[in-house]
Amino acid sequence: MSNTATETRSIIVERELAFPPEKIWRALTQSHLIGEWLMQCDFAPNPGHNFKFSADWGEIECQVQTVEYCKELTYSWVSRELASVVTWTLQATENGTHLKMVQTGFLPDQQRAYMGAKAGWPQFLSRLEAVVSSLE
């Protein structure tokens, strides 16, 4: 029998993008570009770097955990009672890149945060794609 009190849920969003991993990586790791598709931030792609995402409704405290150039990026995502982790995985394909975003750590009683993230991430990824398409 599982202990449902400690079970967490994840959100997974995957996209096939017609751009090379290097181009998408720029949009995932350059703070001025992140600000165009996600939120304003003081991100730097260095493990251990603490940064914040800022929006009109508040801030999200984050810390970079792993950085594997053009392959994987992981950071903590702590907002109010939510303590989660966001992992981006890029895999080169014949036609571009397979991009996967996973946010883990939603507790059963965090339905509002879970539903908000589930609705928000696909929109953020659409905006990310628009930003990447505008890059040289």
Q: What is the CATH number of the domain that holds 87?
A: 3.30.530.20
**CA dist 65 → 15, 35, 47, 93 (Å):** 23, 20, 5, 25
> Is 4 inside a domain boundary?
no
What is the domain range of residue 125? 9-134
> Is 86 inside a domain boundary?
yes
How far is 120 from 118, CA to CA, in rounded Å? 6
| Six token digits for residue 79 | 């907002």
How far is 67 from 107, CA to CA, in rounded Å? 26
Q: Are 77 and 62 in contact (CB under 8 A)?
A: yes
> Is 119 inside a domain boundary?
yes
> Is 83 inside a domain boundary?
yes
Mean pLDDT of the chain, nearest integer: 94
Overall domain count for the chain:
1
Give residue 115's pLDDT.
96
| Six token digits for residue 52 | 């914040």
User: pTM for this structure?
Assistant: 0.93
Is residue 46 scored above 50 in pLDDT?
yes
> Is 123 inside a domain boundary?
yes
> Is 3 inside a domain boundary?
no
How do residues 67-111 score in pLDDT, each as one tens digit? 999 999 999 999 988 999 999 999 999 999 999 999 999 999 999
